[in-house]
Chains A and B, each alone.
Chain A
Amino acid sequence: MVKLIASICLLVVLAVVNQAQADNLQSPTAKQSSVVQDLKNRKSQTQDLKQDFLNCNIKSNAVFRGWPDMKEPCIKSMRDQIQKEIEASTQYLAMAAYFSTDTVNRPGFAEHFFKAAREEREHGSKLVEYLSMRGQLTDTVNNLIKVPSVKVTNWTGLSALEDAFKLETEVTKSIRELIKTCEGTSKKADDNDYHLVDYLTGVYLEEQLTGQRDLAGKITTLEKMMSSHGQLGEFLFDKNL
């Protein structure tokens, strides 16, 4: 008799525990917590119960022999180059913000530098896409880009263009170094990354060189206008930029 009562009690307790777990599953988790946290909670709760759980991770067992085939120094230089493009973009953003202020009021320069900031970001993200195309960036994406703080001064139109020219020259130099790195050192050219080298030479150096020529032209024109007419020169140059 005592045995029977004990077993009934045990059953009741088990049923109650079961019910509590089911309730726990149904009740929405605290509304304040973030969605990520919410999902993680749900996953861990449901995995214990082995029913109706979210199957979030999909693994692939695909194997590729000898691919991806980019060389380590070249990959590292590419990653550095991407960061440099982002830094250039942020530098141009800072210049554009400076020329947008009411007391400086050079909308032509501001637009020019906003455009330059977009272009540099575009350059950076095209290099990122290239690395993805070559099978890179599978597990180390998160530290690829860091938003930098940049140099800010009281630019004049001329000094800003000169700074921009310096910046472009540095970027060009760094692309040349990148090309050298990706050409490799082997005499038989086993480690020469022909395709990337061609892409960098044909597309990136081309843009850099035409960009530098454009800036150089602007600098000489502005310099001539300023030397004869000072502030009027910068005013007129800005309105026609």
Chain B
Amino acid sequence: MKYFIAFALIAAVCALAQAQEQTCQVDVQSACGQTANGGVSNCNARYAAIGHLEPKLQDYIQLQLKKSYEYLLLATHFNSYQMNRPGFQKLYQGLSDRSFDDTIELIKQVTRRGGSVDFSKAHDKGVAHPPEVHLNELESLARALDNEKELTNGAIHVHTSATHGTTQNREHDPEMAHYLQENFLSKQAESVRKLSGYANDLSKLVTVREPSLSVYLFDEYLQKQ
């Protein structure tokens, strides 16, 4: 019995010490005035589910960056004298700029939550290289719609992990979930809907034998958007 109490006491003290060591204040107290201190590594902005969201957000950031350049190339394809579709170019240039801005916004969000973003590793998940950009007008809209859904699913994937903790880590992350809803999910819904509308409009327009004029007029319409 004596041994058991001693053991329990030691375990309790250890657990307490463990719990205490996790805080910034303990770090600071033990580091202050010491020549060889362990630093203040617990003084960070990490809380909730950032641990398991961080790699998922890194993947999502890389996906956004790659899609940004894919859209840039798609815009370039329609800017060539042989395609010459300024409306389509404008559409895809806009999506490219948006994805680049989103990349930066996501970096800011990850680092706001105490995470970091590693650009030193090659990232090949989910994006083919070279991307498929030599497409006709309707195919390009289809491709863009698929892209937008992929980006939406990326946000949903992170959101799901933030709201439903996995088995290894049951922590929830309402802040991250809210951020994604506010800044990505509603915006993505808009752009998916818009591209779906374009794809259906144009596919009706090209059922005629000579679709050149239809596509020309559709491109003119896109320029005004």
Chain A residues at the B interface, C-beta cutoff of 8 Å: 34-36, 38-39, 52-58, 60, 86, 90-91, 93-94, 96-98, 100-103, 114, 117-118, 121, 125, 128-129, 132, 135-139, 141-147, 149-152
Point out the residues of chain A lying under 8 angstroms from B142, CB to CB: 34-36, 38-39
Tell me the minimal C-beta distance from B137 to chain A in angstroms.
7
Docked Cα-Cα span, A54 to B119, in Å, equals 43
B65 within 8 A of A: yes
Tell me the minimal C-beta distance from A232 to chain B in angstroms.
18
Whether A36 contacts B139 by the Cβ 8 Å rule is yes
Docked Cα-Cα span, A141 to B93, in Å, equals 15
Point out the residues of chain A lying under 8 angstroms from B209, CB to CB: 55
- Nearest opposing residue in chain A for B79, CB measure: A132
Whether A145 contacts B108 by the Cβ 8 Å rule is no
Point out the residues of chain A lying under 8 angstroms from B76, CB to CB: 128-129, 132, 137, 141, 144
Q: 21 A-B Cβ contacts within 8 A?
A: A36-B143, A38-B142, A55-B209, A58-B136, A58-B212, A96-B104, A97-B107, A102-B112, A103-B43, A118-B100, A132-B79, A136-B80, A137-B80, A141-B80, A141-B133, A142-B130, A142-B131, A142-B132, A143-B130, A147-B62, A152-B119
Tell me the minimal C-beta distance from B68 to chain A in angstroms.
8
Point out the residues of chain A lying under 8 angstroms from B206, CB to CB: 54-56
Given contacts A56-B211, A129-B79, 13 further A-B contacts (CB under 8 A): A39-B139, A52-B207, A93-B65, A97-B111, A102-B111, A102-B114, A125-B72, A132-B79, A138-B82, A141-B134, A147-B123, A149-B123, A150-B119
Chain B residues at the A interface, C-beta cutoff of 8 Å: 43-45, 62, 65-66, 69, 72-73, 76-77, 79-83, 100, 103-104, 107-108, 110-112, 114-123, 129-134, 136-139, 142-143, 145-146, 199, 203, 206-212, 215
| A97-B119, A102-B44 known; A144-B73 Cβ under 8 A | yes
Q: Indicate which residue in B79, B116, B122 contacts A101 across the interface (CB closer than 8 Å).
A: B116
Docked Cα-Cα span, A152 to B122, in Å, equals 12
Tell me the minimal C-beta distance from A59 to chain B in angstroms.
10
Point out the residues of chain A lying under 8 angstroms from B79, CB to CB: 129, 132, 137
Whether B139 contacts A149 by the Cβ 8 Å rule is no
Docked Cα-Cα span, A53 to B120, in Å, equals 48
Centre residue among A93, A103, A139, A141 by max chain B CB count within 10 A: A141
Q: Indicate which residue in B69, B114, B138 contacts A147 across the interface (CB closer than 8 Å).
A: B69
Point out the residues of chain B lying under 8 angstroms from A54, CB to CB: 138, 203, 206-207
